[in-house]
Amino acid sequence: MQPTIYDVAKQAGVSIATVSKVVNNKGRIGEQTKKKVIAIMKELNYQPNAFAAALTGKSTQTIGVIIPDLANPYFAELAKCLEDEAHKMGFSLMICSTDNNSEKEETYINLFIRKKVDGCILASTLSNPQLVTELAIQYMPVVLAGQAILEKDLPAVSVHDQQGGYIATTHLTALGHQRIAIIMEPKAFSSLERLKGYKKALKEAGLIYDENLVMTADATLTGGADAFRLFVDMEQPPTAIFACNDVLAIGVCQEAHRASIHIPDELSIIGFDNTILASVTSPPLTTVAQPLREMSRQMITTLLTSSNEKRGNQQFVFEPQLVNRQSTAKLN
């Protein structure tokens, strides 16, 4: 079998990152370590680009997918859409969930290399984007899902997050709300973009941006509930909350019910993603939808139709849409 970067790292007693730096002649590496890695590469007859060439001759009909959390309904639905689209083209998926752990990201990329998958879709938040994409691009085509800003040299498929944040906040200002809070995921590029849209909508409505109305929370029901309690304890609590994903929004809804705060009469709530949970909550959640089916089709098509070199840094950005349900209402 053709040796991989994993085999070189193991025999040399160094990390995969170190081997990658030697291969790409990047980063600081001790001369002794560099010579050792090069010697092992020669001994194993390791060719960094050999697998890419081999893809043209033999396919495993398998695509690797890395996501941060399968328990999050958005990523579960994304995985389902990707599986459907891949199946239409005769491919199967190998899905790995990282829990936003950089070591897991590296482990799974390495697994894909050893399993010789035909390509990789990275939907993870990428704790270490440079390392992960460097390792992947040496061996297989790669498409990023929603991470265009992190790695300019790879194609990416995403929703227009800033526009989504603008749509959500504009919906609330049109209903007469002036104290509008936002709950974001920490360090998430998508949330930062949605915050920009939130600020733009406030400015257009003549409202002042108040940092006290901005909270960060993990994308869990508990995260949404914790943020809600902090807002409620304010001297002037918000009358509306924009949560940057549906899970956070539903956490807010649940905690509001426990606090006997009626939605939407006393508090309007809007989410983002339009997951299946949004339509079954009580009341059904107003949210911003991502066209997951179309985005998934673009990811699979882009991955399978050309090489990394030909695809370059293509960016496919899809427009979000407001789904107006019953968790938002005019301010009384």
Q: Which range, of 54-58, 124-128, 309-313, 322-326, averages the lowest pLDDT?
A: 54-58
CB-CB neighbours of 279 under 10 Å: 12
Domain encompassing residue 117: 52-158+292-319
pLDDT band at 315 (very low <50, low <70, confident <90, very high): confident
Q: In the predicted model, is pLDDT for residue 165 greater than 70?
A: yes
Task: Answer with the residue of higher pLDDT: 212 or 50.
Answer: 212
- Is 286 in the same domain as 296? no
Does residue 329 belong to any structural domain of this protein? Answer: no
- Most confidently modeled range among 52-61, 179-188, 236-245: 236-245
End-to-end CA distance of the chain: 70
Which residues have a Cβ under 8 Å from the Cβ of 261 and sit 6 or more positions away? 232, 267
Q: What is the pLDDT of residue 129?
A: 64
Does residue 206 belong to any structural domain of this protein? Answer: yes
Rounded to whole angstroms, how far apart are CA atoms 281 and 231?
Answer: 21
Domain count, the chain: 3
Does residue 266 belong to any structural domain of this protein? Answer: yes
- Is 150 in the same domain as 198? no
- Is 176 in the same domain as 142? no
Burial of residue 301 (number of CB atoms within 10 Å: 0-12, 13-18, 19+): middle
pLDDT band at 58 (very low <50, low <70, confident <90, very high): low
Does residue 285 belong to any structural domain of this protein? Answer: yes
Does residue 276 belong to any structural domain of this protein? Answer: yes
Q: What digits encode the pLDDT tens for the residues 174-185?
A: 999 999 999 999
Rounded to whole angstroms, how far apart are CA atoms 13 and 316?
Answer: 40
Q: Which range, of 65-74, 229-238, 279-288, 310-319, averages the lowest pLDDT?
A: 310-319
Does residue 332 belong to any structural domain of this protein? Answer: no
Does residue 109 belong to any structural domain of this protein? Answer: yes
- Is 148 in the same domain as 78? yes
* Type of residue numbered 218: D
Q: What digits encode the pLDDT tens for the residues 193-212?
A: 999 999 999 999 999 999 99
Rounded to whole angstroms, how far apart are CA atoms 21 and 36?
Answer: 13
Rounded to whole angstroms, how far apart are CA atoms 156 and 149?
Answer: 9
Q: In the predicted model, is pLDDT for residue 126 greater than 90?
A: no
Does residue 325 belong to any structural domain of this protein? Answer: no
Q: In the predicted model, is pLDDT for residue 171 greater than 70?
A: yes
- Is 243 in the same domain as 190? yes
pLDDT band at 147 (very low <50, low <70, confident <90, very high): low
- Is 130 in the same domain as 181? no
- Is 123 in the same domain as 28? no
Q: What is the pLDDT of residue 1?
A: 59
pLDDT band at 299 (very low <50, low <70, confident <90, very high): very high
Q: What is the pLDDT of residue 56?
A: 41
- Is 303 in the same domain as 253? no
Omega before 264 within 30 of 0, i.e. cis? yes
- Is 284 in the same domain as 165? yes
C-beta of residue 238 within 8 angstroms of C-beta of residue 179: yes
Q: What is the pLDDT of residue 53?
A: 40
For residue 121, the domain's CATH number is 3.40.50.2300
Q: In the predicted model, is pLDDT for residue 124 greater than 80?
A: no
- Is 56 in the same domain as 32? no
- Is 96 in the same domain as 69? yes
Look over the chain and give the mean of its residue pLDDT values, rounded to a whole number.
86
Q: What is the pLDDT of residue 311?
A: 55
* Spatial CA neighbour of 38 closest among 82, 74, 8: 8
